[in-house]
Structure 1
Amino acid sequence: MPFSHNLPHYIRSYPSYSSNLGRIAKLISKKYNYLSVIDIGANIGDSVAIIKTEIDLPILCIEGNKRFFELCQKNTSSISNVSLENVYIGNKTETTSLKTKNVGGTSHIYKDNTMNTVSEINMKTLTDVLKEHPLYLKSKLIKIDTDGFDGIILRGAIDYISATKPIIFFEYDPFFLSKQNDDGISIFAMLRSLGYKVALIYDNYGFYMLSTYLTNLHLLEDLHNYISDRGGKYYYDICVFHSEDEDLYNNIRQSEIQFFKTH
């Protein structure tokens, strides 16, 4: 990884950092025997390592940043059942001019009105990428960590989400969402319209905070406002479940409560 990457510091201070994704994947696999995972914003392949530590599943790593993609290739080269795609995911397939910025092991892309230091970025919808990776067309777990593009990606993947009803584990950061002119909070209305019912919410260190129904608008607004205007220093990881998987949500919730009682 780059020397500037923050991952070692997080893990040193918070040993369970991001381990929730692995535990969740393992429990989902008990209901869905042929589980595969889509990892959007795969970075250097750290989520692959976390998941594979818990259970061996096919994982599609999608990373747009060329530097991180090459590291992801190296870090996963000896791991079985990993597919790779070097492309940014958006709400339409196009080539567009955006500014890129790498800070502390993450990569941001955004529009720059001055149009200085911009790059030609290839973007695809998730639907178009999955045409090239048919093994993952019915993936029941999707992880999204794209520093503000998460809402755009979810809205651009409505066809896939409607058909497959995956468990969705995504980053929620009002600061970076606002950089994409995304209010953030409206993503919950979209998820409700697609049949999503409940959510587990973690802080940015991976600690389980609470669970809620997506109809609890006041709570969602309070959570949104609490980390707004924090400059991207605080965010949530949110795991949402379709109404068809409320049983799975209940099992994972109880398991996470028990995990944090002993860790």
Structure 2
Amino acid sequence: MRLNTRKKRFIRRMAGYATNPIAVKVRTLRRQEQRYDIAGIPVVLPPEHNLPFYQRRDPTYDHYAVALLWTLAQGERRVTVIDVGANVGDTAAAVLAADPRTAVISVEGDQRFLSYLHRNVAPFSDRASVVEGFVGPVGASVAYSRDGSTGGFNAVGGDDPQVVDEWVRPADLVAIPDAADLVVWKSDIDGFDIHVLAQHWDVIDSRCDVIWVEYDPPRTLGDPADVDRVIAALAGSGRTVLVYDNLGRRMVSLAPGEGQIAALRTLSDWLGVQYAGHVTVPYLDLWALSPEAAKLLSA
């Protein structure tokens, strides 16, 4: 039986679930860093980082956003991305490489990730800055822990729990870009994106033309009521909301207005079904766009 390209790709993807943990274990024991290419830019990753596996498995993973940000940068205003939860700077490096004017403010509190973040954005030092610390506070959750290639404020588990008593506040971050910049708030802080947005909405909404957040209500770690607070805030903001799945495929564009409430609640329920049954689409990306940003992306 001959295998077509689709079947071969499926077999490789399934095999990766078995081979990747072994490869991670070997690299970790050898303390072997990974050299990886993102959009033509070489970056260095920790031995345990899973980004190469994710992108081999799903080639569209994490690529679509660079194209959207590049399109925004074709307008008259310089784009500045506030990258909250920058991890090792893989997204920052790709964004900086894509457009010669775009600036990125990377925010990260994990000391291990920070060492790689500094290295990966160093070639763009004229447009890249790093803020060391965690964005918050969010409720009573103050213990951070790392879990492989990601980290967050989980209740239990992870490596070397770290109690956080000094926080980077959104108000301080949005004050950094020049007044004329088109500002993008990009948030990937597993389980707390919704809560930071809910509790600091006025500050973020008033300055950021684009709010790009990971949307994952079933696995959110703070006050569950924050989900409805964010939905109501988005619906009342006059923003267009683009919804992408975790692999960068656009699902729907939600016009400004109260209609967003029912749509986002339906998507929240759908994610719950996905999570309970099979994690095919474990989260969504929301892009909440000001009228100017929406016009640039629709041109």
TM-score, normalisation: structure 1: 0.80
Answering whether residue 285 of structure 2 is matched by residue 240 of structure 1, we say: no
CA gap 1:243/1:130 in 2 versus in 1, 3 angstroms: closer
Kept in 2: contact 1:11–1:17 (CA 8 A)? yes
Amino acid at match of 1:84: V
AA partner of residue 181 (structure 1): D
Pair 1:128 & 2:176 matched: no
Structure 1 Cα separation of the partners of residues 50 and 179 of structure 2 = 30
Query: 1:130 touches 1:137 (CA, 8 Å); kept in 2?
Result: no
Flag the structure with more relative contact order, 1 or 2, with Cα contacts below 8 A and sequence separation at least 6.
Answer: 1
State the structure with more CA Rg.
2
Deviation at 1:239, TM superposition (A): 0.9
Q: Distance in 1 between matches of 2:118 and 2:180?
A: 22
Aligned residue number for residue 136 of structure 2:
90
Is this contact kept in 2: 1:61–1:84, CA < 8 A?
yes
User: 1:105 and 1:4 mapped to 2: Cα distance?
Assistant: 6
* C-alpha distance in structure 1 between counterparts of 2:252 and 2:177, whole Å: 35
Q: Is the 8 A contact 2:145 2:161 kept in 1?
A: no
SS in structure 2 at match of 1:77: helix
Deviation of residue 118 (structure 1)? 5.3
Structure 1 residue 9 displacement after superposition: 0.7
1:170 lines up with 2:213 in the alignment: yes
Deviates more, 1:74-83 or 1:35-44: 74-83
Residue 134 of structure 1, CA deviation: 4.8
Alignment equivalent of 2:104, drawn from 59, 63, 75: 59
Cα pair distance change 1:18/1:119, threshold 3 Å:
same
- The root-mean-square deviation of aligned C-alpha atoms, in Å, is 2.8
C-alpha contact 1:202 1:209 (8 A) present in aligned 2? yes
Aligned-pair CA distance for 1:171: 0.3
Q: Partners of 1:69 and 1:182 in 2: how far apart? A: 30
For the 8 Å contact 1:91–1:157, the answer to whether it is kept is no
Aligned mates of 2:243, 2:286 — CA distance in 1? 5
Judging changes above 3 Å, is the alpha-carbon distance between structure 1 residues 82 and 98 closer, same or farther for their aligned structure 2 residues?
Answer: same
Closer, same or farther in 2 for the Cα pair 1:185/1:212, shift >3 Å? Answer: same
3-state DSSP of counterpart to 1:31: coil
With over 3 angstroms needed to count, the CA separation of the structure-2 counterparts of 1:154 and 1:97, relative to structure 1, is: closer
> Paired residue for 2:124?
79
Residue 298 of structure 2 is aligned to residue 250 of structure 1: yes
Shift of 1:226: 1.4
Equivalent pair of 1:97/1:121 in contact (CA under 8 Å):
no
Counterpart of 1:153? Answer: 196
Q: Secondary structure at the match of 1:195?
A: coil
Query: Post-superposition shift, 1:38?
Result: 0.9
Change (3 A) 1:195 1:97: closer
Contact 1:203 1:209 survives alignment (8 Å):
yes
For 1:190-205, list aligned pairs within 5 A.
Answer: 190-196=233-239, 198-205=240-247
**Paired residues, number:** 243
Q: Does 1:210 align with 2:215?
A: no
Once the two structures are superposed, residues 45-91 of structure 1 have per-residue CA deviations (whole angstroms, 9 ceiling, x without a partner) of 01112212321311100012221122101221222310001111125
Conserved 8 A contact 1:100-1:107: yes
Is 1:40 aligned to residue 88 of structure 2? Answer: no
The equivalent of 2:270 in structure 1 is 226
**Aligned equivalents of 1:163 and 1:32: distance in 2?**
20
Moved more, 8-17 or 157-166: 157-166
CA distance in 2, matches of 1:97, 1:200: 30
- Alpha-carbon distance change, 91 to 100 in structure 1, aligned in 2, over 3 angstroms: closer
CA contact (8 A) 1:150 1:171 kept: yes
TM-score, normalising length from structure 2?
A: 0.72
Partners of 1:38 and 1:61 within 8 A in 2: yes
Separation (CA, whole Å) in 2 of partners of 1:222 and 1:119: 36
